[in-house]
Amino acid sequence: MSIGKKKNVRETAMDLLETIEKNQSYSNLLLNTYINKYQISPKDIGLLTELTYGTLQRKMSLDFFLKPFLRGNKKIESWVIQLLRLTLYQMVYLDKVPDRAAIFEAVEIAKSRGHKGISGLINGILRNVQRQGLPSLDAIEDPIERLAIETSHPYWLVNRWKDQLGYEKTKQMCELNLTAPLQTARVNLTKTTLVDCIKLLEAEGFQVEQSPVIPEAIKCYRGNLAHSQVFKDGLITIQDESSMLAAYALGVTENERILDACAAPGGKSTHIAEKLSNSGQVVSLDLHEHKVKLIQENANRLQLTNITAAALDSRKVQEHFEKESFDRILLDAPCSGLGVMRRKPDMKYTKKEEDISQLATVQSNLLKAVFPLLKKGGNLVYSTCTVDKEENQRVVESFLNENKEFEGDLSLKERMPEGIRPFVNGYQLQILPQDIGSDGFYIACLRKKV
């Protein structure tokens, strides 16, 4: 990789970080935009991704390390802070980049962006870090604050998780959130087998293997499956393993009519449709027209003809569908997304504690809206990609207290893949990221009494 390319990648990473922080933009969406906009070469995409996500992931730690070296420099521009974080990230966490090369690149970027004084300031700060070493995290006496800074999670969140899950589980989750997630995919068993699908992907140069926990899932160790011919041909759907458990929880049988109330982009809808062997009907709803288009595109790519997608606010479903007209209902509710922080590291810094209570109200209202559409004896699966009890267990317990015609479905465990069963607690399942190396995910299965 030439020095010119490196400079381009680092400067692009700095711009990305600046835009994410200023506009609270989603890092994953912005990264793709920048790759296309600046025509980043395929061999540099990995470095750009590593620098952007890595610096974001470790932001609080990096700021802690930088703080003593910034004293007396109160009016430092935002892009300079981003450049210092980005460079320190390479010095502390990337073995392949020598310190001198990282500092040289930072100074060159500063020269082209600012003036001689700025490049001198950056050089001085980074050289001081190199000479004096990093301040010790052990100096932080409060164990919650130390864990928060060490793993770059807001104090309120670490404290909340500690109260709900205990210190050890919280520590494991925070540490895992700093690692890059593996890409996983679901094989479309209506069109191929897992063995044949793996052979086709390997022939394309992908390094994949069968998931040890989900029978129809594969893990990808090299390559982006979204660019494969196998994906284009509708043989796989990119989806996290824990998210695949929602379709298992429903326990569908052929020719049933299923409602997926918050369905975009359609991963769970298409999984349900495949489990129905392309029979019956999956009614997939989403609030936004452009997201409904995504569901339909996915269904078409997978050649699934049993999905009907429509733009509709699920709080108004009773105006559009008859009571007791669905055999099973999936409500994958909008949530804080605290289970997917590995994929969206910027989320850590934008979420607020009060967001959780507001979301719990939305979730409860959605449950109240959809439950009358379920037939007697049918299953209602409530799921989220969060790990917070206020959005999960408390929402469900409150619903069961208010609606005595429902009960927890204790047969949930029997429908789960064997490797997941140890995590099932009665009618509920909470997967933490460290449990199977997946996203954090919650499922409750509720049955309408006959």
Of residues 61, 68, 125, 115, the one with CA closest to residue 89: 61
pLDDT at position 220 is 97
CATH, domain range 3-135: 1.10.940.10
pLDDT beyond 70 at 42 = yes
Q: What is the identity of the amino acid at 84?
A: L
Q: How far apart are CA 83 and CA 74, in angstroms?
A: 16
Domain ranges of the chain: 3-135, 138-176, 183-238, 242-448
Query: For the residues 54-60, what does the mean pLDDT come to?
Result: 96
Q: Say how far apart CA 187 and CA 197 lie, in whole Å.
A: 7
200-240 pLDDT tens trace: 999 999 999 999 999 999 999 999 999 999 999 999 999 99
Distance, CA of 424 to CA of 426 (rounded, Å)? 6
- Residue 246 contacts by C-beta under 8 Å, 6 or more apart in sequence? 268, 271, 330, 332, 381, 383, 443
Task: Give Cα 368 to chain centroid, integer Å.
Answer: 27
Alpha helices in 94-142 (DSSP H): 99-113, 116-132
Percent of the chain with pLDDT over 70: 98
Catalytic residues: 385
Per-residue model confidence as pLDDT tens digits over 349-362? 999 999 999 999 99
Overall fold of domain 183-238: Alpha-Beta Plaits (3.30.70)
Say how far apart CA 357 and CA 362 lie, in whole Å.
Answer: 9
Is the pLDDT score of 7 beyond 70?
A: no
Specify the pLDDT at position 1: 36
Tell whether omega for the bond before 345 is within 30 degrees of 0, i.e. cis.
no
pLDDT band at 39 (very low <50, low <70, confident <90, very high): confident
pTM of the model: 0.93
Instruction: Assign a CATH topology to domain 242-448.
Output: Rossmann fold (3.40.50)
**How is residue 183 annotated by DSSP?**
E
The model's pLDDT over 233-283, given as tens digits with 9 standing for 90+, comes to 999 999 999 999 999 999 999 999 999 999 999 999 999 999 999 999 999
pLDDT digits over 172-189, tens only? Answer: 999 999 998 999 999 999
Pairing of the two strands 207-210 and 441-448: unpaired
Tokens 């835009």 belong to 19
Interval 7-31 mean pLDDT: 85
Q: How confident is the model at residue 6 (pLDDT cuts 50, 70, 90)?
A: very low
Predicted confidence (pLDDT) at residue 5 exceeds the cutoff of 80: no
**Top-confidence residue, 415 or 36:** 415
pLDDT of 319: 96
Kindly report the three-state secondary structure assignment for every residue of 242-268.
Answer: HHHHHHHHHCCCCCCEEEECCCCCCHH
* Whole-number Å distance between alpha carbons of 207 and 194: 14
383-410 per-position pLDDT tens digit: 999 999 999 999 999 999 999 999 999 9
Q: How far apart are CA 191 and CA 274, in angstroms?
A: 9
Integer Rg of the chain from CA: 24
Condensed to tens digits (0 to 9), the pLDDT of residues 93-125 reads: 998 889 999 999 999 999 988 777 899 999 999
State the average pLDDT for the chain.
Answer: 94
Query: Which residue's structure tokens are 């055999």?
Result: 327
Contact predicate 91/55, CB 8 Å: no
Question: C-alpha angle 356/430/250, rounded to 5°?
Answer: 105
Q: How many CA atoms lie within 13 A of 36 on its CB side?
A: 5
- Cβ atoms of 239 and 183 closer than 8 Å: no
Q: How far is Cα 442 from Cα 392, in angstroms, rounded to an integer?
A: 7
- Rounded Cα–Cα distance for residues 86 and 17 (Å): 9
How far is Cα 196 from Cα 280, in angstroms, rounded to an integer? 27
Task: State yes or no: pLDDT of 3 exceeds 70.
Answer: no
pLDDT recorded at residue 410 = 98
Domains 3-135 and 242-448 share a fold: no
Structure tokens at 173: 């989750």
- 402 by DSSP, 3-state: which? helix
Q: Which residues, including other chains, have CB under 8 Å from residue 444's CB and lie 6 or more apart?
A: 381, 382, 383, 392, 393, 396, 408, 427, 428, 429
pLDDT of residue 40 exceeding 80: yes
Q: What is the DSSP letter of 182?
A: P
How far apart (Å, rounded) are the C-alpha atoms in residues 249 and 322? 24
**321 class by beta-carbon count within 10 Å (0-12 exposed, 13-18 middle, 19+ buried):** middle
CA distances from 266 to 252, 273, 286, 296 (A): 17, 10, 10, 8
